[in-house]
Amino acid sequence: MDTRSILAPVQSRSPVQRLRPRDRAVVATRLSERPVIAAGSISGYGPIFNAGVIIHDGRYHLFARAVRDGYRPNPRTGPGEPRFLDYVSDLLSFTSRDGLDYRFQKVLHRSEPGAIFEDPRVQTVTSGGEPHFLLSYTNVPARETGKTWRAAICELHYGEGEFTIGPDPIIGPDGVPNKDVVLCNLEGGRIALIQRLEQNIWPQQSIQLAIFDTLDDIWATTPEFWQHYMDTLADQIIIAPRPGSNGVGAGAPPLLVEGELVFFYHERDGKNIYTTRVALLDERSGRVKALLPEPILGPELAWELHGDVDNVIFVQGAQLCSNGTIYLTYGAADRHVGAASLDANAVLAALHG
């Protein structure tokens, strides 16, 4: 299963690089001044954002979170109150030949009443000698259930030009908020599961790691395993927020570039501005070998600065293309999907610098 692009290199409509190279060592270039998928572009839905992507069978397959029409701001703004009412999101799939012009394919997954399907990521992982397409996402139950959000990982199956979704087992410790889950292979075929478990004792949100031999081991974890994991949570952290930042979390699944694992993650700074940063992970341990000192992408265009949640760039998809660039998909202000690219060799050089 080869997910590297066999397509012609993505051609930008009007490439946008707002930050000059001297401002940052590595800067992503937006592939368009406009969203590649805009809010309201699909009947029955408003915001369409936070999309994962994979290149397969000669096409870009994009999976986005879409909010159904009819949601509205919550007039009550007290602690614990949701930002919006009647806010329900489903999973939509799109396809494209060039990574710019996307065609709506279908509703891949409809949420239960009152529930929210958040932030899909798609990745290819080998387990038991076989490749698997996996979709990871955050499952947010209906508010009246009193249950917290949890992470889920399900298999995707491909046939006749489209993906279908399999059962979606919840993973992680019961009752502990968990999100921003991505997976990748390490040396020897082991599987790294990167996540963001949250406890009240942690004032900031961090990125943690768990390593398994097979996918079945992930789905078969016991309460005892997770209890030990939570008891040693500080030892599992691979990226903590920088001083003055409020939190970090996975962006796109780690991407294999020239035999090295490049990991795009998000950071929410002290002003609640979301930017994208890059780490180099050790292919044996899954731990961080290097971090770029500055973000590669941050909100700058009007539709990235203003929306349902202002000042958000949220990368969730990363694919290595045949022309040596990394193709990125990102959510903007919880309203739209944008696309950007980055020179793969420049990223590696900066991480090794």
Residue 24 belongs to some domain of the structure = no
Query: Global pTM?
Result: 0.92
Q: Mean pLDDT throughout 14-40?
A: 75
Asked if residue 11 belongs to a domain, the reply is: no
Determine, yes or no, domain membership for 20: no
> If you average pLDDT over residues 290-298, what whole number do you get?
96
pLDDT at 204: 67
Task: Please give the structure tokens belonging to residue 186.
Answer: 């390490």
- What does the pLDDT look like over 76-104, one tens digit per residue? 988 878 899 999 999 999 999 999 999 99
Q: Is the pLDDT of residue 323 over 60?
A: yes
Range of the domain at 62: 32-352
Q: What is the pLDDT of residue 60?
A: 98
Which helix H or strand E contains 152, and what residues bound it?
strand 150-159
pLDDT of the residue at 6: 40
Residue 164 falls inside a structural domain: yes
Residue 8 lies in a domain: no
The CATH number assigned to the domain holding 188 equals: 2.115.10.20
In 3D space, the residue among 272, 264, 265 whose CA is nearest the CA of residue 245 turns out to be: 272
**22 within domain boundaries:** no
Q: For the purposes of burial, counting CB atoms within 10 Å of the CB of 126, is it exposed (0-12), middle (13-18) or buried (19 or more)?
A: middle
Residue 15 banded pLDDT, cuts 50, 70, 90 = low
Do the domain assignments include residue 199?
A: yes
| Domains identified in the chain, total number | 1
Mean pLDDT rounded to a whole number for the chain: 91
